[in-house]
Structure 1
Amino acid sequence: MRARPSGIKPNRLSIALFAVLALPVAGTAFAQDAADQQEEEQAAAAPAQASEDTTELDRVTVTGSRIKRAEIEGPAPVTIITADDLEQQGFSTVYDALNTLTQFTGSVQNELTQNGFTPNASFLNLRGLGPGYQLVLINGRRVADYPLPYNSQSNAVNLNAIPAAAIERIEILSGGASAIYGSDAVAGVVNIIMKSNYEGDMVTLRGGTTTRGGGDTGRAQWIGGKAGSNWSLTYAFEYLEREAIFASQRDFMDSYRDDPSVDPSDATAVGGVQMRDSFTGAYIWPGGIDEVCGRFSEFETFAFNSATPNRCYYYGYPATQAIRNADDNLSAYLYGTFDFTDTLQGFAQLSMTDADATLSSSTQFWQSGHVYVPELGTIVNTQRIFTPDEVGGKGAQSSKYSERAIDVAAGLRGTMFSDRFDWDATISHGRYELDVKRPRFLANKVSDYFLGPQLGLDPILGAYPVHNFDLDHFFNPIDAETFSSLNTMVKTEAESKVTQASFVLSGDLFELPAGPLGMAAVIEAASQDYELISDPRIRPDYAGDEPIYNLTGTGGGGERDRYAVGLELSVPIFDSLKASLAGRYDKYDDVTNVDGASTWMAGLEWRPFDSLLFRGSHSTSFRAPDMHYVFAEESGFFTTVLDEYRCRRDGLDPTASPTDPNNCRDNEYQYSVFGLRSGSTELEEEKGKSTTVGFVWDVIDNMSVSVDWYQIELEGGVSDINTGYLLRNEADCRLGQTRDGSPVDINTAGCQYFLSLVERTGIDQVNDDEIDQFRSVPFNQAKVETSGVDATWKYRFDTDRLGRFDLDLGWTHVLKMEEQDFPGSPVVNTRDHLQYFNFRSRVNWTATWMKDDWRASIYGYRWGSLPNWEETGRIAPYIIWNANVQKKITDNATLGLFVNNVLDKLHPEDDSFNSYPFFWRAYSPIGREVFVQFSYQFN
């Protein structure tokens, strides 16, 4: 829209009536028209200019505020990434590009976590607070969450479902913004602005591969638009196909012998086929170990040292795992406007994504548990790994993910009171559907194949089942047809939806001595719901005839309604000093203890000179509990725990270092335990505070520097009860004293509660009172405080002979990260803790050169050091370089070469990392990628 005239002085009555109208209104982001978006993109691409240049801009809306303004910088720092920036960085997906920005210091589960709950989704982690603590918007509107809960607990937006071809720019506000946007904007906001008012057509084709093997990629994009005297239509289509990469295609992670902490001849592997006497610990090999192990093509006999017997190991067990999924994604985007009059415009938007992915994990295994075998006269426990030959080859055990996302919006916008005020009324609906099919063993079928029917209880303890174990089946390979007959497809269906309506009003209320009083006000209503239907055969309460072996799942579903009002003001105090104020009230209608949440924000901008801005803001924030934390049905999971009760019972020290002989790191005290989990309707909102202080300085023409300090505090963070905290308190109550010997009253309500969450069957010769299962429940318990510094430097200079150069540098350094897991537990300095695997610092840089028909870019990023795996020091930083060069070969055609990870850099070396894949999941094992790109612009 046009810049507002500043000379109109309405009478007091009209001001009062308008203020009464505006107060109940609160907001979603104001949609910009074509002129606004063009001006903002130009401002984002160019370094900050002197104020005499800046004031010539039309007023625009940036994510940090809903009020249109002429100044680009505001009281809170906002990072803007344009579509051109995304291309110059060289990445094929939105997530890959955003994940390298400096503010996203936290790591997330990704495709390396094939056994996780969301192995086909990509999430962001702003400030290391977690995937759900930044609000992700499209054109200022909320979108549907990924239907599967991250880590089986929380909800977040999947970046893979956003069509990259349709993106105009991405704005990242790093700081609390609940007073503007409501729940979830604790660490900040990621607002993805889509294209509009595009004219012409452009087709882009990209193809490439990795130099280490696998991962062939093809991408086609078509972006276009048409316009008439009173209408416009913008469209974008994208197709991405990407081949899987398997661990077997990376020689540094295709075997347990890649463990850098030991000599390859001493590497630990999984037991390929083994049967062990539960009383003596002796291994049983009918016909001898060499004979049995030699029947399997990939198993080997080995003894760790002279004190241990030979065992039959499988070193290549991880080789069949995909380290990047196979993807087949199609997305489309449409945006249209129609001008009914000079002051009234209608608009509509539609975006759709249809994605199919193939995921592959390691081959399956089977364990019998403790069973009595009459032929052997003892109780045994067994393990059997299945080789790729047995399952039908690499990829035969793949899971299929089919995902469909749709987002539709429509509305009207216009001006009133002689163009002094803009208004926008929008209604939208987002939906995300997902179907998963995974091959898994039918528990009864695989048990019958190896064990046969149960014949009673053992004659020794009277506690374990008796079976005529089929030793021939167990100690010999099976064919793919037999393996397939023991399997079934486990199906999961999930859906999430969000429907919302908003009315936004913004403009200048009246003139103050230093300028107009700007205002933005909104009223908003929304409904959100989800449904997660897991296969009933993987639920803990399943009592049917076909249970699934070694797989648990989570189900759930619920809905909530939300209403919000809010008001934002921009108050000029002096010519050089401006204040920003915002307040919002959100009302929740659901089954939780969240009723309403009020948040506020205050900011200051001081410009002592045209080239210098000092800024600061303070805000409160809140986050309603994730819906799956509330509505999750009972589900099961396995996790490794330290059994503190048995450790302390036996006179050992759970806090001792691994080198201390008095430690309890032995497998006798650390083992896998089955847990039960469900949601809680007793949860309350999480509350936070956020502060930023900094400056922006135009040092010289075309050079600017910004530095901002941030601090975020969060209280009452929802989290499942920490297993270490639970088992420590359970041990205190069972033993009647704490670790330091202080007495504990086991009859207190607290002790009774902790004891009720942990089940033990009692002491016998086999399990020695091990934990059978425990229950995990979510609480408003965690407290987090983090602070740090963001800095940027931008410089553009032109030369007569060498062309134009653009240089950008960004840096984030985390100064503090402290966490408290539970009220009363110690506050831990996680930033410097040797088990903290988020980055303390990140840097990225871009150098772009343009001359005539040529353009070249170098993009790089550096992630700071992480602790080594043995917790004795830190490893080297991680530095990646991308580069590309493009040539305009005709007036309409451009050809380019893109190389990501030019130096073929892998993870930093850590000789102590003895857990597969032998490096931290944040590092990429892909290596160098090379792409050729061709673009053609149709006139």
Structure 2
Amino acid sequence: MIKSKITVAIVAALALGYTSAYAQSAQTDTSQQSTEQAPDSTKAKKLEAVTVTGSLIPSSQIETATPVITITAQDMKVRGFTTVAEALQQSSFATGSVQGAQTSASFTQGAQTLSMFGLPVGFVKYLIDGRPMGNFPGLYNGSDAFNNLSGIPMDMVDHIDILPGGQSSLYGSDAIAGVINIVLKKHIDAPAIDVRYGWHKDGGGADRRISLADSFSAGKFNALVGVQFEKTQPIWGFDRDLTKQYFTQGTSVPVASRDYLVNSGTGAGYLFEDPNNCSNVTGQFGGTEAKQHRKNSGDYCGSFYSPGYKTVTNDDKTVNLYTHTTFDVSDNLQLYGDLLYNYEETKTSVGSSYTWWGTSVDYGYIYDENLDDFVNLQRAFSPEDVGGYRNIMNKQTENSYMLTLGGKGTFGQSNWDYDVGFTHSDDKLLAHDFQRFDGAIDAYFRSHVLGPQHGLDPYYGAYAAFSPNYNAFYQPMSPSDFRSFTGYTDTRSKTWDNMLRGQVTNASLFSMPAGDAGIAVVVEGGNQGWSYVPDPRLLDGEIWGTTDVQGAGHRSRFATTAELKVPLLSQLTLDVSGRYDDYKVAGQNVNHGTYNLGLEYRPFESLLLRGRYGSAFKVPTLADEFQGLSGYYSQVTDYANCGRLGYSGPNVADCPTKYSDVQFFGQQSGSTSLKPITAKVWSYGFVWAPMSKMSVSVDYLHWDIKNEVNQQSADGLSATEYLCDVGTIAMSSQTCQAAFDQITRGTALTPGLLGPILEIYTPKVNVSNEQVNAITANFGYLQDIGAMGRLSFNASYSDMLKHSYQDYPSDPAIDLLRHPNWSTDFKSKVNASITWSLDEWSATLYANRYGRTPNYLATVYDDYTHTGTGKLPAWTLYNVSVTYNPLKNLGLSFLVNNVFNKMPPLDRSYPGTAGTPYNTSNYNVYGRAMYIEANYKFGAGAK
């Protein structure tokens, strides 16, 4: 039974697809919905107990102690969202900055993800129909495992539930920031075809999508089959004014790219050695190459328009297949099977900034015998050199699927329900990346430009000596010459996951005066693996200027979960859950238990007060545990030798540079000894329904996260070695022995001092801490306006009240809201929509306001006090959609995204050297996009 005005208000809102919680019992077509299809709330007399995301126990109450935000299929379409990833990224809770298609040369440019409340992208648990998604094989930012949202077919989605806050007591590892459950359709009432075409006002990004779906049955067998195909053209930098050239409105005049440069290493600046004053290369970069001058440096050949030859959005082709089948064996047993398959090809171009040759990679500086100077030569490859950047794009191919087989039902005539299922997910990734081959490119430029090496320089005897042919250096290159030293490498990576899960549930375990108590128990087990196998040429030095790191590993896991829900009083309900997870990694066990205590208090029928307190965790990712060894160079203070020289504590800064700024070779890798990341989480809030068609909810959330994985500090190891050296820490301790083992020194050269630091091993360790306080609010309201139709209002708001991060225990906690060098996240986001519907017509206006973020100079200085620092204004985008149903079987839609064609907030603090003068992790230059869409249902079953 519907027990309160809150539930009535939510069910009424549900009729138009807007609500902060959702209980699904039937599917509705999104493009053809009208007021005739929306059930009036006065007719909703009963609401059967259903299982909602956030609880394992069926309940007739939609709002519980756990806040749940729902985005329906209709929401996504009428608000103009083109993908599932876009719908989630534009939600108010997605306040964090993330890399994506605009982040040129990033590790996962072809994948899409989000950051909930500014927390790491891997702190979100993604589910499909309540089952965990497999991880993407590539690593976010080169180190973090995450989920890719680009392969989920939007037309097959029924709704998406978002649970902010820690949810590990029900859903296990990763559920720290929250849980996102993508619920796919289970039935449609007639075969349907949906066709959409889109384009952008300023060019590029043309999109074509078609989907087909049908449900059918044969006796006790029922099935839904859907397929979706989508092809999207890229947007190039030259398609947009802001990205086609170097910044013209910044703190300095625009500076052209240094495409043909000779740079002195002795302070003489740029040496212009072209006898033809760049006349031989003026046809490069679309005829924009010319002789340029950089203040305080000198002359060179370059173009102001070279930034335009990278992609801003990906060239993408996706094919999805989805099937859902059931077979009713008896009244007490139903067999089911689900398959979601994704094939995606993504192409990107990094542009000339990453496609170049120079002497610095192999030689550092060279000695020019004719100039009697140490110089570096730098040569960028133009689109004319390469035969068009469209022809040398990086290509990423992903093949993934998720298969579930199982059975569910009831034990006899009892109240006990069961569900046993096996899920296997598999994701294979092939990265076909364009490369310069080391031997071939060096041979080409030695043959054409540098000439033979004439020994070493006469001054230091350390630098290779040449007599470069500068007339040949300042020349275009034929595409055939370019192809002679370039090609592709193939890097393969894979993730897989097996899970066997059994659940028993009893929604009426025993009776209480206030109602029935319910219980759910889950047992699950399985294994998972990850492998990353670079092309061998990336590992053995055959690729010019690029390397990679391999890694692979697997582990088994076991978990058990229990939830108990008890109505203590007619107005007070208690929900308690607990979970224990155990992972077996490299012969050792990593385990953690989590719990949650939730209370729901309804002092009167229109108000719910709720609160929850518990814990969450994230097991180290397979990449954290098994990523291979890689090297780097850095500087560190040799505290032990400084201490032996009498410099320690506050006067260590006076230690001679030889010991205070030591260059060392570092090595880093994953570690199978990592412990789980843990968190204490709590929230409280209310849901108020002052009338049957209105609902307001506000929740305050808190996270206290410990043991985040970070690279061990070389400075910290050196400081520990000093404390061991002076006896503050016993030399025989494990701490000292570890520091001695990880720091490699050379032979001592000075009596009384240790040998020089040569190498330091800095593996991943559990060391960082983080705290977040945030508030979320949601509003929904329906208004009948008689003959004029019906209006629906919806709004969602999130605000980051606190976000602090501590890198290492000895470091102070950094306030990320006030240190822009550490974080450029949005402090607040709010979106709102209004929908009008009447008979065959409906229209929606959607607005999304992104809060203020630091400007470029603020991120450089890490404050807001230096001249020129500050915050950018809020950024608000508007989408409009109109749907017309000329026939009951046919829906026609026209959608406009970013109606006013707004570009990112103008940030004049960028210099004239910026080719992308905006924060690509926060904003985009896509501009106004328009879409036309048609949905047709076949047969009399269309409603």
By how many angstroms is 1:445 displaced? 1.2
- The 5 A counterparts of 1:91-110 are 91-110=81-100
SS of 1:245 mapped into structure 2: coil
Which residue does the alignment assign to 1:701?
692
Gaps of 5+ in 2: 3-21, 643-659, 748-756, 859-863, 865-869
SS of 1:832 mapped into structure 2: coil
SS of 1:290 mapped into structure 2: coil
Q: Is the 8 A contact 1:293 1:312 kept in 2?
A: no
Equivalent in 121, 126, 131 of residue 136 of structure 1: 126
Q: Is the 8 A contact 1:36 1:58 kept in 2?
A: no
SS of 1:907 mapped into structure 2: coil
The whole-number CA distance in structure 2 between the counterparts of 1:58 and 1:90 is 32
Cα distance per residue 1:231-280 (max 9 Å; x no partner)? 21111111101111100111111111x253235xx223432112233234
Which residue does the alignment assign to 2:934?
934
The whole-number CA distance in structure 2 between the counterparts of 1:840 and 1:642 is 34
Cα pair distance change 1:441/1:39, threshold 3 Å: closer
Cα pair distance change 1:380/1:530, threshold 3 Å: same
Does residue 683 of structure 1 match 2:674? yes
- The 5 A counterparts of 1:329-340 are 329-340=318-329
Cα pair distance change 1:924/1:642, threshold 3 Å: farther
Q: Is the 8 A contact 2:278 2:290 kept in 1?
A: no
Which residue does the alignment assign to 1:6?
none
- The 5 A counterparts of 1:116-155 are 116-155=106-145
Quick check: 417-426 or 342-351, which moved more? 417-426
By how many angstroms is 1:550 displaced? 1.5
Cα pair distance change 1:807/1:379, threshold 3 Å: same
Cα distance per residue 1:6-57 (max 9 Å; x no partner)? xxxxxxxxxxxxxxxxxxxxxxxxxxxxx97316999xx99x9999998821
Which residue does the alignment assign to 1:301?
291
The whole-number CA distance in structure 1 between the counterparts of 2:461 and 2:385 is 36
Which residue does the alignment assign to 1:169?
159
SS of 1:328 mapped into structure 2: strand
The whole-number CA distance in structure 2 between the counterparts of 1:77 and 1:40 is 23
Does residue 830 of structure 1 match 2:804? no
Which residue does the alignment assign to 2:884?
887
Which residue does the alignment assign to 1:209?
199
Cα pair distance change 1:36/1:229, threshold 3 Å: farther
Cα distance per residue 1:613-653 (max 9 Å; x no partner)? 00011111111111111111124679xx89999xxx9xxxx
Does residue 193 of structure 1 match 2:183? yes
Does residue 782 of structure 1 match 2:781? no
Which residue does the alignment assign to 2:221?
231
Does residue 240 of structure 1 match 2:227? no
By how many angstroms is 1:834 displaced? 2.6
Q: Is the 8 A contact 1:320 1:395 kept in 2?
A: no
By how many angstroms is 1:359 displaced? 0.8
Q: Is the 8 A contact 2:27 2:187 kept in 1?
A: no
In structure 2, what residue type is equivalent to 1:802? Answer: M
Cα pair distance change 1:636/1:908, threshold 3 Å: farther
By how many angstroms is 1:465 displaced? 2.9
The whole-number CA distance in structure 2 between the counterparts of 1:399 and 1:413 is 45
Which residue does the alignment assign to 1:862?
849
Equivalent in 768, 780, 803 of residue 794 of structure 1: 780
Which residue does the alignment assign to 1:31?
none
Cα distance per residue 1:364-388 (max 9 Å; x no partner)? 1112132234444443222111111
Which residue does the alignment assign to 1:553?
548
The whole-number CA distance in structure 2 between the counterparts of 1:302 and 1:773 is 43
Cα pair distance change 1:908/1:446, threshold 3 Å: same
Which residue does the alignment assign to 1:281?
268
The whole-number CA distance in structure 2 between the counterparts of 1:54 and 1:526 is 42
By how many angstroms is 1:473 displaced? 3.7
- The 5 A counterparts of 1:639-678 are 677-678=668-669
Cα pair distance change 1:347/1:291, threshold 3 Å: closer
The whole-number CA distance in structure 1 between the counterparts of 2:538 and 2:743 is 22
SS of 1:424 mapped into structure 2: strand
Q: Is the 8 A contact 2:281 2:474 kept in 1?
A: no
Cα pair distance change 1:754/1:708, threshold 3 Å: farther
By how many angstroms is 1:596 displaced? 1.4
By how many angstroms is 1:408 displaced? 0.7
SS of 2:150 mapped into structure 1: helix
- The 5 A counterparts of 1:725-874 are 726=714, 777-835=763-821, 836-871=823-858, 872=864, 873-874=870-871
Which residue does the alignment assign to 1:501?
500
By how many angstroms is 1:198 displaced? 2.5
The whole-number CA distance in structure 2 between the counterparts of 1:612 and 1:49 is 24
In structure 2, what residue type is equivalent to 1:815? Answer: L
By how many angstroms is 1:602 displaced? 0.4
Quick check: 361-370 or 898-907, which moved more? 361-370
Which residue does the alignment assign to 1:476?
475
Q: Normalising by the residue count of structure 2, what TM-score does the alignment of the two structures yield? A: 0.85
Does residue 328 of structure 1 match 2:325? no
Cα pair distance change 1:433/1:609, threshold 3 Å: same
Q: Is the 8 A contact 1:198 1:233 kept in 2?
A: no
By how many angstroms is 1:303 displaced? 3.1
Equivalent in 417, 421, 433 of residue 422 of structure 1: 417
- The 5 A counterparts of 1:559-708 are 559-591=554-586, 595-635=590-630, 677-708=668-699
SS of 1:322 mapped into structure 2: coil
By how many angstroms is 1:780 displaced? 0.8
Quick check: 158-167 or 173-182, which moved more? 158-167
Which residue does the alignment assign to 1:917?
916
The whole-number CA distance in structure 2 between the counterparts of 1:288 and 1:760 is 50
Which residue does the alignment assign to 2:750?
none
The whole-number CA distance in structure 2 between the counterparts of 1:435 and 1:105 is 31
Equivalent in 277, 287, 299 of residue 290 of structure 1: 277
Which residue does the alignment assign to 2:386?
391
- The 5 A counterparts of 1:14-25 are none
Identical pairs, percent: 29
The whole-number CA distance in structure 2 between the counterparts of 1:282 and 1:853 is 70
Cα pair distance change 1:280/1:816, threshold 3 Å: closer
The whole-number CA distance in structure 1 between the counterparts of 2:334 and 2:397 is 37
Q: Is the 8 A contact 1:49 1:701 kept in 2?
A: no
Quick check: 283-292 or 830-839, which moved more? 283-292
Q: Normalising by the residue count of structure 1, what TM-score does the alignment of the two structures yield? A: 0.85
Cα distance per residue 1:422-477 (max 9 Å; x no partner)? 10000011111111111111111111122356554433212233445454442322
Cα pair distance change 1:188/1:469, threshold 3 Å: same
SS of 2:690 mapped into structure 1: strand
SS of 2:817 mapped into structure 1: helix
In structure 1, what residue type is equivalent to 2:560? Answer: V
Equivalent in 335, 339, 346 of residue 335 of structure 2: 346
Q: Is the 8 A contact 1:275 1:382 kept in 2?
A: yes
Cα distance per residue 1:132-157 (max 9 Å; x no partner)? 00100111111221111111111111
Q: Is the 8 A contact 2:272 2:298 kept in 1?
A: no
Does residue 526 of structure 1 match 2:526? yes
Aligned pair count?
Answer: 856
Which residue does the alignment assign to 2:905?
908
CA RMSD of aligned residues (A): 3.5
Q: Is the 8 A contact 1:440 1:490 kept in 2?
A: yes
The whole-number CA distance in structure 2 between the counterparts of 1:773 and 1:848 is 63
By how many angstroms is 1:343 displaced? 1.1
In structure 2, what residue type is equivalent to 1:923? Answer: Y
SS of 1:791 mapped into structure 2: strand
Cα distance per residue 1:846-902 (max 9 Å; x no partner)? 111110100111111111000111113211011111111011011211111100111
SS of 2:24 mapped into structure 1: helix
SS of 2:926 mapped into structure 1: coil
Cα pair distance change 1:103/1:282, threshold 3 Å: closer
Cα distance per residue 1:331-355 (max 9 Å; x no partner)? 1101011101111100011111111
Cα pair distance change 1:840/1:820, threshold 3 Å: same
Does residue 271 of structure 1 match 2:258? yes
In structure 2, what residue type is equivalent to 1:178? Answer: S
Does residue 717 of structure 1 match 2:735? no
The whole-number CA distance in structure 2 between the counterparts of 1:783 and 1:251 is 42
Which residue does the alignment assign to 2:55?
65
Q: Is the 8 A contact 1:576 1:606 kept in 2?
A: yes
By how many angstroms is 1:400 displaced? 1.0
The whole-number CA distance in structure 1 between the counterparts of 2:61 and 2:510 is 19
